[in-house]
Amino acid sequence: MKEMYSRTQMLIGDTALEKLKNSHVIVFGAGGVGGYVIEALARSFIGAITVVDNDTVSRSNINRQILATQDSVSKSKVDVARERILSINPLCKVETRNTFFLPENAAEFDFTQYDYIVDAVDTVSAKLTLAKIAQDKKISIISSMGTGNKLHPEMLEISDIYKTSVCPLARAMRNLCKKNHIKKLKVVYSKEEPKYAQKVVENSKAVPASSAFVPAAAGIIIASAVVNDLISNV
């Protein structure tokens, strides 16, 4: 089994690798962004990963979500995530929560067991709740802003929420964070202006367009930030 992490070990050293093996990361959302976070964390040999999502894979996910294939359509995303993580690293401790995280059920989670929180959900109230919890419990967190309606992954960057611009979701989160006295929040966001070649409305709600590369790149950037933060003091 040592061979599977030998290249990572060469890069970061034994002590840092052990730190990753002993770390527990919880990922909220296993979609376009979250799926690639999970993928990269598994390949970085994070010792324990908890995946939270209540959705199933649909055919409309196939253009951008790494967990979405013709074979996984209609399957629970957390079940597909578990299978994929263990196919990469059988030693990883995988926990799945097939639930839609909201302020109302936040108390069902014991956040003291996690070393890092990844927010890859779309719901603003959930994102705000996770930011509050991270601040109150002093847990590291990184949050994904909008990746829909974007074509240029090179315009993604890591920043504090109060230094973001352009992104409509980041603008909403900035205002809410300020109102709720959240001092800082590490985010990945894009300075690319949203594109709307064709608007589609379903159930009175606009459906965001998407590409194969912007959500994926955001997920990889987030996973990189998590890994580098975890080993920064080693």
Q: Convert the pLDDT of each residue in 84-117 to its tens digit.
A: 999 999 999 999 999 999 999 999 999 999 999 9
Find, among 31, 101, 116, 157, the residue nearest to 39 by Cα. Answer: 31
Looking at residue 190, which CATH number applies to its domain? 3.40.50.720
pLDDT at residue 197, as a whole number: 72
What does the pLDDT read at residue 178? 98
In this prediction, residue 228 carries a pLDDT of 98
Specify the pLDDT at position 203: 66
The DSSP 8-state label assigned to residue 4 in this structure reads G
Segment 47-59, tens digit of pLDDT: 999 999 999 999 9
Rounded to whole angstroms, how far apart are CA atoms 171 and 148? 15
On average, the pLDDT of the chain sits at: 96
Domain holding 33, by residue range, is 2-230
Look at residue 90 in the predicted model and tell me its pLDDT.
97
pLDDT band at 2 (very low <50, low <70, confident <90, very high): confident
* 8 A C-beta contact, residue 157 and residue 191: yes
Domains of the chain: total: 1
Task: Provide the sign of the torsion angle of the four alpha carbons 227, 148, 52, 36, taken in this order.
Answer: negative
